C-alpha cells in the first residue's frame, strides 16, 4: 500500500512537471524560432531552415536592419508613443480608480457600466470618424494623434486595474491618518500612493504592451515614413522585402526586446497587485 502511494505520488509529480514543461515549451517555442531564424545565415536558410539550430551563426541580419533601414526611427517612435501613453493613462486611471474605490456617490454604477461598455466598441467603427476629426485638428500623420487615441482606449481597463489595487489597501490606513490631522490629499500622497506603486507599475506595463502592439490605428493614421511606429514599419517592410526572412526576423526580435524586458520585470506585480483587491469585487 505504502509503495503504491509512493508510486502514485511520484507519478503525479512527473505529471505536474510534464504539464509545466509543456506550457513553457508552447510559450517559448515561437519566440525561440524567430530568434533562431534571425541568426541563421541566408545561405543556410533553405537547406537548414527547419533544423533546431543552424550549423553557423551570423549577426549580419541585425546590422543590415540597423544600418540600411528606418527601423531605428520606427523603434524610437514606438518608444515615444508607448511610454507617453502608459504614463498618461496610468495617471488618469489612478485618479479614476481612486474615485471608484474610495467614494460612494450617485452615478457610480453608471460610470462603471460606461467604462465597461467602452470595451465593446468595435475599433473599426470609430476609425472613420476619428480620422475625420483628427484630420480637421491636424492630428493625423503624427504621434500625438496616436497617443490621444491609445490613451482613450486604454483608460477603461486601466481604471479597473487601479480600482482593484486601491480596493486592496485598507481604508483604515487613510482614515487613521485623516483623524491624525492629515488632509485627504496628504493621506493620499503619503500613505496610499506608496502602497499602490506596484499596482501602477503593473498598469504601466499593461498599457505599454498594448500601445506597443497596436497596428490598425497606426496603419490608418500614419503615412509619412518619419512618423511610422514599429508595427506599421514592420508590416510595410514585409510588403517590400517579402523574401528576406532573416532581416524580417531580426527586426521582429528587436521589436520584442523592450516589451519582454518590461514585462519580465513587472508581471510579478500584475499577479500580486491583482491578488490584493482582485477583479473579484
Partner 1 sequence: MTLASREQMTAKAPIRRWSMAAEPWLYLSPALVCIVTVLLVPLIIGISYSFWKFSAFKSQFAGLDQYRAMASDTVLHDALVNTLWWTVGSLFFQFFLGLGLALLLNRPFYGRRTVQALVFLPWAVPTFLTGLTWSWLFNPLIGPLPHIFYALGIQSEPVTILASPQTAMWGPIIANIWFGIPFFAITLLAARKSIPSEIYEAASIDGASAWQQFTKVTMPFLAPTIAITVMLRTVWIATFADLIYVMTQGGPAGSTNTIATYIYVSAFKALDKGYASAIAMLLLVLLIIYALLVIQMRRSLLKDA
Q: In the range 25-84, which residues lie near partner 1 by CB under 8 A?
A: 26-28, 30-31, 33-34, 37, 45-46, 49-50
The reply to whether 133 sits near partner 1 by the rule CB under 8 A is yes
Which range touches partner 1 (CB under 8 A), out of 53-61, 67-75, 98-106, 170-178? 98-106
Residue 148 binds partner 1, judged by CB under 8 A: yes
CB 51 within 8 A of CB 36: no
Determine contact, residues 224/145, Cβ cutoff 8 Å: no
Q: Which helix (H) or strand (E) holds 80?
A: helix 71-102
| Among the listed residues 27, 19, 54, 25, the one whose alpha carbon sits nearest the alpha carbon of residue 40 | 54
251, 234 Cβ separation under 8 angstroms: yes
| One residue of 1, 68, 124, 179 binding partner 1 per CB under 8 A | 124
Report the candidate in 210, 212, 216 with the shortest Cα–Cα distance to residue 126: 216
User: 215: which DSSP letter?
Assistant: -
> Is the Cβ of residue 24 or residue 173 nearer to partner 1 in the bound state?
24
DSSP designation for 225: G
- The total of other beta-carbon atoms located within 10 Å of residue 172's CB is 8
Determine, following the binding rule CB under 8 A, whether residue 116 of this chain makes contact with partner 1: yes
Find the binding residues for partner 1 in span 219-248 (CB under 8 A).
220, 230-231, 234-235, 238, 245, 248
Task: For residue 147, count other CB atoms closer than 10 A to its CB.
Answer: 20
By CB under 8 A, is residue 103 in contact with partner 1?
Answer: yes
Please tell me whether residue 3 binds partner 1 under the rule CB under 8 A: no
Q: Which is nearer to partner 1, 33 or 241 (CB)?
A: 33
Choose, by CB under 8 A, the member of 66, 127, 182, 193 that binds partner 1: 127
Q: Work out whether 268 is an interface residue with partner 1 (CB under 8 A).
A: yes
Minimum distance from CB of 67 to partner 1 (Å)? 22
What is the crossing angle of helices 193-213 and 245-277, to 10°?
A: 150
Q: Which one of 64-72, 101-109, 169-177, 189-197 is the stretch in contact with partner 1 (CB under 8 A)?
A: 101-109
Residue among 99, 182, 191, 195 that touches partner 1 (CB under 8 A): 99
**In angstroms, rounded to a whole number, what is the distance separating the alpha carbons of residues 191 and 30?**
43
How far, CA to CA in Å, does 197 sit from each of 10, 158, 167, 225? Answer: 42, 14, 14, 37
Total residues at interface with partner 1 (CB under 8 A) = 95
* Least gap, CB of 277 to partner 1 (angstroms): 8
Q: At what angle do helices 71-102 and 143-167 cross, to 10 degrees?
A: 40
Examine residue 178 and tell whether it contacts partner 1 (CB under 8 A): no
**105, 194, 224, 239: which one contacts partner 1 (CB under 8 A)?**
105
Asked if 259 is part of the footprint of partner 1 (rule: CB under 8 A), the reply reads yes
The minimum distance between CB 59 and partner 1, in angstroms, equals 19
Amino acid at each position: 500500500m505504502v509503495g503504491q502511494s509512493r508510486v502514485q505520488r511520484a507519478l503525479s509529480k512527473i505529471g505536474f512537471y510534464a504539464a509545466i514543461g509543456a506550457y513553457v515549451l508552447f510559450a517559448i517555442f515561437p519566440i525561440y524560432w524567430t530568434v533562431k531564424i534571425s541568426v541563421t545565415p541566408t545561405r543556410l536558410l533553405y537547406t537548414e531552415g527547419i533544423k533546431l539550430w543552424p550549423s553557423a551563426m551570423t549577426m549580419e541580419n541585425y546590422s543590415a536592419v540597423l544600418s540600411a533601414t528606418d527601423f531605428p526611427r520606427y523603434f524610437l517612435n514606438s518608444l515615444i508613443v508607448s511610454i507617453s501613453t502608459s504614463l498618461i493613462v496610468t495617471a488618469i486611471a489612478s485618479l479614476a480608480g481612486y474615485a471608484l474605490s474610495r467614494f460612494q456617490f450617485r452615478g457610480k454604477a453608471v460610470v462603471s457600466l460606461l467604462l465597461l461598455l467602452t470595451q465593446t466598441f468595435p475599433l473599426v467603427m470609430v476609425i472613420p470618424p476619428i480620422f475625420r476629426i483628427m484630420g480637421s485638428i491636424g492630428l493625423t500623420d503624427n504621434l500625438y494623434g496616436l497617443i490621444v487615441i491609445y490613451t482613450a482606449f486604454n483608460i477603461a481597463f486601466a481604471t479597473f486595474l487601479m480600482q482593484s489595487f486601491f480596493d486592496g489597501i485598507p481604508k483604515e490606513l487613510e482614515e487613521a491618518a485623516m483623524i491624525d490631522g492629515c488632509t485627504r490629499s496628504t493621506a493620499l500622497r503619503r500613505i496610499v500612493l506608496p502602497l499602490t506603486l506596484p499596482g501602477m507599475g503593473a498598469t504601466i506595463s499593461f498599457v505599454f504592451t498594448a500601445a506597443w502592439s497596436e497596428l490598425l490605428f497606426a496603419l490608418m493614421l500614419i503615412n509619412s515614413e518619419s512618423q511610422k511606429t514599429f508595427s506599421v514599419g514592420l508590416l510595410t517592410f514585409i510588403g517590400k522585402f517579402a523574401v528576406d526572412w532573416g532581416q524580417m526576423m531580426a527586426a521582429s526580435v528587436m521589436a520584442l526586446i523592450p516589451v519582454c524586458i518590461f514585462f519580465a520585470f513587472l508581471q510579478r506585480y500584475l499577479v500580486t497587485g491583482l491578488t490584493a483587491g482582485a477583479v473579484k469585487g
